[in-house]
Amino acid sequence: MHVAEKLDTDLKELVVKDRLQGAPVMLECSDIKKVYPTKKGDYVVLEDLQLNIREGEFISIIGHSGCGKSTLLTMIAGLNGISGGQIMVDGAPIRGAGPDRAVVFQSPSLFPWLTALQNVMIGVKQVFPHASKKQKLEICKYYLNKVGLGNDFDKKATELSQGMQQRVGIARAFALKPKVLLLDEPFGMLDSLTRGELQDVLLEVWQREKITAVMVTHDVDESIFLADRVIMMTSGPYAKIGDELIIPFERPRNRIDVLEHPNYYDYRGYLIDFLEG
Amino acid sequence: MAFLELKNVCKSYINKGITTQVLTDINLGIEEGEFVAIVGFTGSGKTTLINLINGLLEPDSGEVLLKGKPVDGPGPDRGVIFQNYSILPWLTVYQNIKLAVDEVLPDLSKKERDAHIRRYIEMVNLTHATDKRPAELSGGMRQRVSVARALAMSPQVLLMDEPLSALDALTRGTLQKEIINIWSKDQKTALLITNDVDEGIIMADRIIPLKPGPNATLGPEFSVNIPRPRNITEINKNSTYKKLRNEVLEYLIEVGSTRVQNDGVEYLLPDLKPVMPGRIWPGKRKKSEKVKYF
Amino acid sequence: MMKDKSIRIVRFIGFGFLEPLIRLLSKEEPKKNTVSFLKKAVFPLVSILLFISLWHSGASYLYSIEADRRIEKAMNDGGETAASEMKKCIESGSITCQPNTLPSPKQVYTAAMALLQDHKIISQKKDEFYVKVAGTNKQRAAQGLNEITYTGRPSFLDQIGTSLKTVFAGFLLSIIIAVPVGIIMGLSSTLRTAMNWLIQIFRPVSPVVWLLLVFMIVKTLIQDPDMDKSFVISFISVGFCAMWATLVNTSMGVSTVDKDFINVAKVLRLNIGQNIFKVILPASFPLIFTGLRITLSVAWMVLIAIELLAQSPGLGSFVWEEFQNGANDSNAKIIVAMFVIGAIGFMLDRIMITLQKFASFNKAEIA
């Protein structure tokens, strides 16, 4: 890793104390290639992309708009076809979309004719058909409460603000108990202060189950605060993984402590240099 | 006496018989040539504040003074840049700016006005798009037209209401640099409303947070003592910057944390293993991008 | 609380202009609400009165022109005496020599009252008739024969009833055909391209032509002489004429469901049935409902023409008969019919709007 070259030596020790040491690989992307046919010929968005993520790891992917990070995410989600290479989750190649790779979309995409509870319930019914009605209800209420909507179960999706809708989106994804949680710039549409609130909410729910998570974002501070590892993608065409940065901050993470950490701005500078350079 | 001053300004709205006190006791003084950024939460009344200064709204109590005189309705001496550009889609770039210039500078000859307009188009780097219509321009370019139009009116105060919020990160960075470049040439008095602390630090001389509503007031001031020009990669290593940024962010976190809602009710999560439902769409193959139903 | 509730109800059914009145009565912001009430309720009322007075003066003007012409004609045919006789006759208001032109509001009102009176008489006669044949009908029913029905002239209100029945039957037919076909078309782009020519060619076809088409088909298929063929022909024609709006809107609504919703359905792996009923239909409901509203209003419009030709005893044939009659108050009766047709059309649309508000999840989309 390039981190150790540029930072203090005591950081090297932190890197070794990697909490995920020994964890099995959950998500494996090998030789990924994505081609879009256009009028002027084939446009190769991604080529020769390799990515391995271990179980319980939280990865954030940063890069410029249009570099293909969303494309990669939708390919892992199964909503986008793969032109070459293979994506394996938990040892098996993926086939189409599924709740094992739950997605939190950029726009909440709640069904506006349903209430918050019903939106989560529709997913719960799909993955827990063997559960009793009471259990299903408990699952929905548990996650909605965790994201801070304990009083808003029966509000129609249209009566909730953008931030609250996105909370339901998070609850809906977690309630599916996915193997991999995929987040596609989930807070991009929110103002930077609501974004902070929702980042805390996300970590709060994630903390319990430590689901393998991949989050695409363009906000450098967000990626440092949330992730164990920040993956930097080069710009398209022919985009691939450019660089990696391990974030050794201990969990659970407190925002002020993270901001005050002596190396915070070094990490931040490293990422900004990558984006600007 | 400050150039632009707000003294004890209060504003409320009445909707269906319910009074909402949006802004309470706003006190603000901006010196001539100063660039002030107000950082606030969504819905805290930022737009109300801008509209009080540009004259579209009147305060319930208190005064809004420009150069000592109370503000009376909108006028070209206060140029405004809105979030959603507000440029007329059936006019070209040139014609949009011409519309504003003709209003404000009727005394100039046609040739002088033409030169004036072209100077500002050049300033925002849109000379190649002078005769294009908004539909042919990207979001960033449209916002530049808005900037050029506001500046071409030679306002005394430049008001910007979250002008870059609707743009992607890259364009946002570029436009921040451009606006600051333009501003430093004329050194107009400027007030920027934003929800991004970094934007405020890069651009302003002073940052003032607006506390969340209702009854929003202005928080404590933070001076930005970082020399211009400010470069986003280099500033990251500046210790003044780090300290300031943390101060502002921590203040906002503290103030904002009063908004979190939760009852303290605990729900139990049943311990169940999920099941992979159903079969995937018929006809779905790895190669196809779209799913056709049949 | 009562005030808020009543305001909500009033807004819901589309009589929003009553809202300031309610607020006034509860002494809320008298100045603003008086102005608001004036704007919303009084000004339209004033414009209605203005319209009626314009109409009256127009009708009087036409009346005097026609009257003068008749007197002149009498003069040319029979000389002075005939002319003055004609003049006296016109002034006396006797029906034999009234000018036959655009009726005045008063005449229309008189005609309306006459129609109502007529309805009372006829329904009375109907009741008496049914009392008379009750016994006979019971016998006939026991023997398996059809009952004797009243075959006298239908009254105006009966005709309105028939028209309403026909329009609803036609509307139902449109829904039954157009919605399922629209959904299937929306789901498959190949089907859309395949059927596009059909829709484009048949959509602008005039109701009269549809009537003839349906007449040809129904005449061959249904041989039973007793059955009221005119009703069947009418409502089928109305249905076919009006269903295109629903078809196109449903197809468009289904095919343009927000991609994000489809993505969510994919991630949750909903099967086809769940996908259609839980995601696609609710998402496309606003567009479908707009199509239904258009269909209903088109159905009501073409109904009159179709009834006229199909001889179905509804408003359409009423108008035609009055026109053929050429009796003195026929013109007035036709105008009465016009207002009734307009009022019913307005009411039907209002009902649809209220229904839409019940079922909609995004109130802003309703026109």
Nearest-CA distance from C247 to chain B in Å?
19
Tell me which range, A222-236, C7-21, C30-44, is most confidently predicted by mean pLDDT. A222-236
Tell me if C269 and B280 make a contact (CB, 8 A cut-off). yes
Nearest to B292 among C189, C268, C269 (CB): C189
Tell me if C269 and B278 make a contact (CB, 8 A cut-off). yes
Q: From chain A, pick out residues whose CB is under 8 angstroms from the CB of B271.
A: none
Per-residue pLDDT reduced to its tens digit, A42-95: 888 888 888 999 888 999 999 887 778 888 999 999 998 888 888 999 888 888
Which is more confidently placed, A185 or C101?
A185
Least confident of B153-167, B272-286, C2-16: B272-286
Taking the Cβ of residue B291 and every Cβ of chain C, the question of whether any pair is shorter than 8 Å is answered with yes
Beta bridge partners of B79: B158
Average pLDDT score over residue span C343-359 = 85
Q: In what order do the strands lie in the sheet with A58-62?
A: A101-104, A180-184, A212-217, A58-62, A229-233, A241-246
Name the pLDDT band for B263 (thresholds 50, 70, 90): low
Name the pLDDT band for C246 (thresholds 50, 70, 90): very high
Per-residue pLDDT reduced to its tens digit, B130-183: 888 888 888 788 888 888 888 888 888 888 888 887 777 777 888 888 888 888
Taking the Cβ of residue A105 and every Cβ of chain C, the question of whether any pair is shorter than 8 Å is answered with yes
Nearest to B262 among A99, A129, A148 (CB): A148
Name the pLDDT band for B268 (thresholds 50, 70, 90): confident
C-alpha C109/C-alpha C333 separation (Å) is 9
Tell me if B278 and C266 make a contact (CB, 8 A cut-off). no
DSSP H stretches of helix in chain A: 3-6, 10-16, 69-77, 116-127, 133-146, 162-175, 192-209, 220-226, 255-260, 264-276
Per-residue pLDDT reduced to its tens digit, B76-115: 788 888 777 778 888 888 998 888 888 888 888 889 889 9
Name the pLDDT band for C365 (thresholds 50, 70, 90): very low
Q: Which residue of C has its CA nearest to A97?
A: C267
Nearest to C268 among A126, A156, A158 (CB): A126
Q: From chain A, pick out residues whose CB is under 8 angstroms from the CB of C283.
A: 111, 113
pLDDT of residue A172: 92
C-alpha B66/C-alpha B7 separation (Å) is 11
C-alpha C291/C-alpha B234 separation (Å) is 59
Q: Which residue of C has its CA nearest to B282?
A: C272
Name the pLDDT band for B279 (thresholds 50, 70, 90): low
Nearest-CA distance from A125 to chain B in Å?
9
Q: Is the pLDDT of residue C69 over 60?
A: yes
pLDDT of residue A3: 46
Name the pLDDT band for C364 (thresholds 50, 70, 90): very low
Taking the Cβ of residue B286 and every Cβ of chain C, the question of whether any pair is shorter than 8 Å is answered with no
Tell me if A99 and C269 make a contact (CB, 8 A cut-off). yes
Nearest to B289 among A80, A255, A256 (CB): A80
Tell me if A151 and B263 make a contact (CB, 8 A cut-off). yes
Angstrom distances, CA of residue B181 to CA of A149, B82, C326: 45, 19, 84
Chain C interface disruption, residue of A75, A95, A126, A128, most C CBs within 10 A: A126
* Cβ–Cβ < 8 Å for B94, B117: yes
Per-residue pLDDT reduced to its tens digit, C327-344: 767 788 888 888 888 999
Which is more confidently placed, A230 or B254?
A230
Q: Is the pLDDT of residue A226 over 70?
A: yes
Q: Is the pLDDT of residue C241 over 70?
A: yes
Q: Is the pLDDT of residue C222 over 80?
A: no
Give kind and range of the element (H or E) at residue B66.
strand B61-66
Name the pLDDT band for A120 (thresholds 50, 70, 90): very high
Taking the Cβ of residue A188 and every Cβ of chain C, the question of whether any pair is shorter than 8 Å is answered with no
Q: From chain C, pick out residues whose CB is under 8 angstroms from the CB of A122.
A: 268, 278
Nearest to A191 among B42, B236, B259 (CB): B42
- Inter-chain contacts counted by CB atoms under 8 A, chains A and C: 50
| Interior angle at CA C245, CA C243 and CA C250, nearest 5 | 100
Q: Is the pLDDT of residue C142 over 50?
A: yes
Name the pLDDT band for B257 (thresholds 50, 70, 90): low
Q: From chain A, pick out residues whose CB is under 8 angstroms from the CB of C263.
A: 79, 97, 103, 105, 109
Q: Is the pLDDT of residue C248 over 90?
A: yes
Q: Is the pLDDT of residue C101 over 90?
A: no
Provide the CB-side half-sphere exposure for C74 (13 A, CA).
Answer: 18
Q: What's the predicted TM-score (pTM) here?
A: 0.77
Nearest to A193 among B252, B268, B270 (CB): B252
C-alpha B102/C-alpha B92 separation (Å) is 15
pLDDT of residue B213: 67
Per-residue pLDDT reduced to its tens digit, C283-324: 888 889 999 999 999 999 899 888 888 878 888 888 888 888
